[in-house]
Amino acid sequence: MAAASSSAVEKPFVIAIDGPAASGKGTLARRLAATFNLPHLDTGLTYRAVAKAMMEAGKALDDEPAAVATALALDLGKLDRTELAVHEIGSAASKVAPLPKLRQALVEAQRAFALGGAVLDGRDIGTVVCPDAQAKLFVTASVEERARRRWNEERLRDGATEDGDALFETILDDIKRRDARDMGRADSPLRPAADAHLLDTSDLDIEAAYAQALDIVSRARS
């Protein structure tokens, strides 16, 4: 008689990575996705794409029906990271993000993406989008360190065209405001899931942060 199928069908492996703006979660998510050969979705891009399309269409960022319609027309396979990376779009994204019906529409699309196994990063992946994810990371860094990283990125991209100190202060203020919006909203605020592993990258370079993330995920997988 053929051996009874003893091996249960393996559950698709999902890695949930959350954290505040500029914590380094995106870089870690991309590298983990490559290592574990999983598709990756940066869910921040979904909110950014909605915000950008709304601004282009001249819609107010609190127009919920327009935001939902924009979200339903989104193609998750066509999110252009370079185009959406601009700081102002990130700020606008944190203003559309509190709209509950918009979140509902995007969360549904994000869950569908995760069905076969995936790495997702954002603010509410471990708590709301994929609460059953096998590996959950909450990546943080001090607000000054996160502002410094964004400042370096902006200066590399645009050259030193602005007074560096003034630019740093602007970015620092903006990140503080975004933190307050992301953590303070009623629907799915940014917070670590009870079973998330905390990873503070304030004093870690990317290689050291990745080594720790890999260790956490490898343990969860075995």
145 binds ligand DC (CB under 6 A): no
23 binds ligand DC (CB under 6 A): no
Sign of the torsion angle spanned by Cα atoms 172, 138, 19, 201: positive
- CA separation for the pair 39, 29 (Å, rounded): 10
Nearer to ligand DC, 144 or 163 (CB): 144
User: Which one of 14, 21, 49, 209 is in contact with ligand DC (CB under 6 A)?
Assistant: 21
The DSSP call for residue 4 is P
Cα-based distances in Å from 135 to 54, 118, 210: 34, 11, 14
- CA separation for the pair 89, 195 (Å, rounded): 31
123 binds ligand DC (CB under 6 A): yes
What is the strand order of the sheet 118-122 is part of?
40-42, 118-122, 14-18, 135-140, 197-200
Instruction: Determine the interface stretch with ligand DC among 6-14, 90-98, 140-148, 168-176 (rule: CB under 6 A).
Output: 90-98
- CA separation for the pair 87, 174 (Å, rounded): 9
48 binds ligand DC (CB under 6 A): yes
Q: Answer whether 36's CB lies under 8 Å from 133's CB.
A: no
Q: Comparing C-alpha atoms, which of 134, 138, 146, 143 is closest to residue 198?
A: 138
Instruction: Determine the interface stretch with ligand DC among 3-11, 43-51, 164-172, 197-205 (rule: CB under 6 A).
Output: 43-51
146 binds ligand DC (CB under 6 A): no
Nearer to ligand DC, 195 or 215 (CB): 195
Looking at the chain, how many residues does it have? 222
Residues 96-115 close enough to bind ligand DC by CB under 6 A: 97
90 binds ligand DC (CB under 6 A): yes
47 binds ligand DC (CB under 6 A): yes
Residues 176-215, one symbol each (x = binds ligand DC by CB under 6 A, - = not), give --x---x---------------------------------
24 binds ligand DC (CB under 6 A): no
Binding site for ligand DC (CB under 6 A): 21, 43-44, 47-48, 90, 93-94, 97, 122-124, 178, 182
